[in-house]
Amino acid sequence: MTLIKSISGIRGTIGGAPNNNLTPIDAVKFAAAYGSWLKDYSGKEKLTVVIGRDARLSGEMIQNLVVSTLVGLGIDIIDLDLSTTPTVEIAVPLEKADGGIILTASHNPKQWNALKLLNEKGEFLNAEEGAKILAIVEADDFDFATVDDLGAVTKNDAYFDIHVDEVLNLSLVDADVIKAKKFKVVVDGVNSTGGIAIPKLLEALDVEVVKLYCEPTGHFPHNPEPLKEHLGDICKKVVEEQADFGIVVDPDVDRLAFISNDGEMFGEEYTLVACADYVLGKTPGSTVSNLSSSRALRDITVKHGGSYEAAAVGEVNVVTKMKENKAIIGGEGNGGIIYPESHYGRDALVGTALFLMLMAERGGTVAELRASYPSYFMSKKKIELTPELDVDGLLKTMYEKYQNEEISNIDGVKIDFAENWVHLRKSNTEPIIRVYTEAKSQSEADGLADKIISEIKIIAGI
List residues with catalytic annotation.
Answer: 106
Q: Is 242 helix (H, G, I), strand (E, B) or coil?
A: coil
Quote the radius of gyration of the chain (alpha carbons, Å): 22
Residues 6+ apart with CB under 8 A from 154: 76, 77, 78, 79
Per this entry, what is the length of the chain? 462
- Say if CB 129 and CB 162 are below 8 A apart: no
Helices (H), 241-347: 269-282, 296-303, 315-325
| HSE (side-chain half, CA atoms, 13 Å) at 35 | 33
- Say if CB 12 and CB 2 are below 8 A apart: yes
Q: What is the DSSP string of 326-344?
A: T-SEEEETTTEEEBTTTBS
Q: Give me the helix-helix angle, 24-42 and 59-72, nearest 10°.
A: 40
Q: Give whole-number Cα distances, 200 to 26, 66, 159, 187, 193, in Å.
A: 35, 28, 12, 11, 11
Of 400, 421, 403, 417, nearest to 292 (Cα)? Answer: 421
- Say if CB 38 and CB 76 are below 8 A apart: no
Q: Is 208 helix (H, G, I), strand (E, B) or coil?
A: strand
Rounded distance between C-alpha atoms, residue 185 and residue 241, angstroms? 9
Rounded distance between C-alpha atoms, residue 427 and residue 432, angstroms? 6
Of 106, 35, 89, 105, nearest to 65 (Cα)? Answer: 35
DSSP single-letter state for residue 45: S
How many CB atoms are located within 10 Å of the residue 11 CB?
23
How many CB atoms are located within 10 Å of the residue 429 CB?
18
Of 213, 215, 231, nearest to 223 (Cα)? Answer: 231
- Say if CB 67 and CB 51 are below 8 A apart: yes
In the chain, what is the straight-line distance between the N-terminal and C-terminal CA atoms, in Å? 24
| HSE (side-chain half, CA atoms, 13 Å) at 94 | 17
